[in-house]
Structure 1
Amino acid sequence: MTDDRSVAAVSAPKMQILLAALLIRANHVVSRDELSNEIWGSAPPRRATASLHVHMSQLRKLLTRPGRPGGPIATTAPGYVLRLAPGELDLHRFQCLLRDGRRAARAGGHERAVELLGAARSLHRGTVLDGAATGPIVGGCARWAEEARIECAELLVASGIALGRYQEMTGVLRALLAEHPLHEAFYRQLILCMSRSGRRAEALRTYHSARDTIRRELGLEPSWELRELQRTILRSDGAARDMQLVG
């Protein structure tokens, strides 16, 4: 957690969950029952309400900054609300950048899309609580954030390909596949980049590697789209050889 003056670490797991839930629902009241469910699930301790109050008091002290009386957390029936100014939370900025980048890409504004989506990707600093929370608020946000991160990367690469930035996108895709080795869309984009930059043999080797990985890990064949891309490259490679023979 950072502000313009200092950095503070929230190390206690229950306080991490409380802060994450309040941030995700920033400027909206989160009930005590919802917060209790985030921390303890369906088996809260006997003094859950008192324990929640203690954790919240500790969190309030941590968030109170010198020269800023009151702090951002307010008690509002039936629970608590964390007040934030617009654009103060990275999550909200990521959502706005992804939305605007998606619109730019769909409208064919690929230069602008790359700029917006690149800025969105730079805000993503890992999994929410590293998967430590499974409650409806924090766990649900963590799952959404991972899906949104993948969508952001796919859109960024697609716009990069539309701009002819094949070499640059190849490097981005290799890094993405190291993290998501079963995500077929990244394989399709990588193979397409290689093929369009004249590296058809490497593109076909990448297809075979993808097929072997998918078979080994999932017991499945590659998708129709991936197989069709391979066939397209083979046909174009054969056409190119025929032209050389005729010449």
Structure 2
Amino acid sequence: MRYEFLGPLRVRHTEQSHSLSAPKVETTLATLLIGSGRVITKEQLVTELWGDRPPRRASAAVHVYISQLRKFLVGAGDTGGRAIVTRPLGYELRLDGAGWDVDDFKEAMRRGRDLRAAGRHEGALESFERALSLMRGPVLEGIAEGPALTSFATWAEEERLQCLELSVEARTALGRHREVIGLLSTLTAQYPLRESFYRQLMLVLYRSERQAEALQVYRSAQRVLRAELGLDPHRSLRRLHQAILASDRVLDLPAAS
């Protein structure tokens, strides 16, 4: 049995995939899952389900959703119906050996960062690509309204973007800069206020003998940041701009030792 959360929420068992059609039951599972291994109180569930405007019989509704969720999980592979445990103050979801793609993502990121720190860029790239492959789409799209779920969705999106940055960095360190020009062009358009993507795009363009285009990227970043935030680019981006203007040797790909 495996919970898959990094995209549309589903539970897999053997070769079958199971999804919830009832949004409130799905929100209940999502809330219990991100708090797996600890008690989620009924009050927390009510907040995630309805915010600060719960219905009069919210507690009874939570009980119904838990009952429906238990039946769903039994059908999805929870033999014996032991995944959700009732506690005095609420409910606890126990993984008890079940897989969870969030744990797999965190492990792949941790391993990738360790390999990166050791200068093992090929292995780091494999780990970051593994992490990215687990991201199937927006997390909790359409159901993340409460504070805990909204916070988790924000965390997942930031981790995805960091993983993209690290994957690009690993490819660049391996001299595979031309592979990521298209990706970075798309990312700078999608996330125009994220300076790290501009910085990476400028560097790979420069190393691809496209100095003029690299300088144009800087001017675009400068224009967007001034228009949207009233700010100049960060000093790291300004330093890169000056280094490109000077064709500084520090920008050349380090020779393999």
TM range (shorter): 0.7 to 0.9
Q: How many angstroms apart in 1 are the aligned matches of 2:50 and 2:75?
A: 29
User: Rg larger in 1 or in 2?
Assistant: 1
Q: How many angstroms apart in 1 are the aligned matches of 2:121 and 2:15?
A: 37
Aligned to 2:52: 42
Name whichever of 201-210 and 69-78 sits farther off.
Answer: 69-78
Is this contact kept in 2: 1:131–1:142, CA < 8 A?
no
Q: Compute the TM-score of the two structures, normalised by the length of structure 2.
A: 0.84
Structure 2 residue 17 is the aligned partner of structure 1 residue 7: yes
Q: How many angstroms apart in 1 are the aligned matches of 2:98 and 2:213?
A: 44
Is this contact kept in 2: 1:87–1:93, CA < 8 A?
no
Write out per-residue CA displacement over residues 49-107 of structure 1, whole angstroms, 9 at most, x where no aligned residue.
Answer: 10100111112222212773325222233221222245711111111111111121122
Residue 106 (structure 1) aligned to one of 106, 117, 125: 117
Q: How many angstroms apart in 2 are the aligned matches of 1:236 and 1:66?
A: 59
**Equivalences for 1:169-188 in 2 at 5 Å?**
169-188=180-199
Shift of 1:121: 0.9
Shift of 1:188: 0.1
Distance 1:14 1:111, change over 3 A: same
Q: How many angstroms apart in 2 are the aligned matches of 1:58 and 1:21?
A: 15
Q: How many angstroms apart in 2 are the aligned matches of 1:130 and 1:214?
A: 28
**Equivalences for 1:1-247 in 2 at 5 Å?**
1-3=10-12, 4-65=14-75, 68-70=79-81, 72-86=83-97, 88-130=99-141, 132-236=143-247
Shift of 1:213: 2.1
Write out per-residue CA displacement over residues 188-216 of structure 1, whole angstroms, 9 at most, x where no aligned residue.
Answer: 00100110121101111222222222223
Tell me the SS of whatever aligns to 1:130. coil
Q: Which runs of 5+ in 1 are unaligned?
A: 238-247
Distance 1:14 1:66, change over 3 A: closer
CA RMSD of aligned residues (A): 2.0
Tell me the SS of whatever aligns to 1:236. coil
In the alignment of these two chains, the number of paired residues is 237
Q: Compute the TM-score of the two structures, normalised by the length of structure 1.
A: 0.88
Q: How many angstroms apart in 2 are the aligned matches of 1:11 and 1:177?
A: 36
The amino acid of 1:61's aligned partner reads K
Q: How many angstroms apart in 1 are the aligned matches of 2:222 and 2:96?
A: 48
Q: How many angstroms apart in 2 are the aligned matches of 1:207 and 1:47?
A: 57
| Greater share of residues in strand | 2
Tell me the SS of whatever aligns to 1:2. strand
Larger relative contact order (C-alpha < 8 A, sep ≥ 6)?
2
Q: Report the identity percentage.
A: 46
Is this contact kept in 2: 1:131–1:139, CA < 8 A?
no
Distance 1:80 1:16, change over 3 A: same
Q: How many angstroms apart in 1 are the aligned matches of 2:219 and 2:24?
A: 46
Tell me the SS of whatever aligns to 1:95. helix
Tell me the SS of whatever aligns to 1:222. coil
Aligned to 2:6: none
The amino acid of 1:174's aligned partner reads S
